[in-house]
Amino acid sequence: MKIGIIVGSTRPGRRSIVVAEWIKNIADQREGHEFILLDLLDYNLPHLDETIPAAMGKPYGHEHTRAWSESVASCDGFIIVTPEYNHSIPGVLKDALDYLFGEWHNKAIGFVGYGLLGGARAVEHLRTISAELMLADVRAQVALSLFADFVDMEILDPGDHHVGTANQMLDQLLGWSGALARLRESTADASSFIEA
């Protein structure tokens, strides 16, 4: 499986890249799977600027959308690393999700949140968004507290128990990703048959 770890904040001084690297280090201990960082800062997606809704499909009008589409389409599943902004997710993350539609379908997704309450409310919003994008969200999630898992709310220092939770989330994510890969293959086969 190829799993994209989406770095969900582009804000100066963000902690999301450090958290994403932490979860990637845990994930990389699993052989036979590839985990890649999809840092939204690298894609430079402006506020949604495609004239045709993503649900209508390709072609996309902008190179930044095509680059984001290729990266997302290449993955079998995702982990979103998100802070909590005002009881929800960062606007840049919502935009990145809205840029695409079919590329998300029938893939699994897990969550690593952080914030005053472990990013729990942001993750709850992501679960409802994921449902609309036909992403299958796994139950286990990592919730890092700015009070308990960061030194002075800045330097990541997670409790050891988070490694167990992260591995539980990864087990579920990889299991669902493998099952959904077969569903995507059968859907692609059916589409080919209909087109023929």
Beta-carbon contacts of 90 under 8 Å, excluding residues fewer than 6 positions away, are: 8, 9, 10, 11, 82, 83
Mean pLDDT of 170-193: 82
pLDDT of amino acid 108? 98
| Residue 60, domain extent | 2-195
Q: Given this model, what pLDDT does residue 182 score?
A: 92
Which helix (H) or strand (E) element contains residue 189? Answer: helix 161-195
Collapsing DSSP to helix, strand or coil, 65 comes out as helix
Given its phi and psi angles, is residue 153 left (phi above 0), alpha (psi -120 to 50 degrees) or beta? left
Residue 136: pLDDT band with limits 50, 70, 90: very high
What is the spatial distance between Cα 169 and Cα 142, in angstroms, rounded to a whole number?
A: 8
pTM recorded for the entire structure: 0.94
Count the domains in the chain. Answer: 1
| 32-51 pLDDT, tens digit each | 999 999 999 999 999 999 99
CATH assignment of the domain containing 122: 3.40.50.360
What length is written for the chain? 196
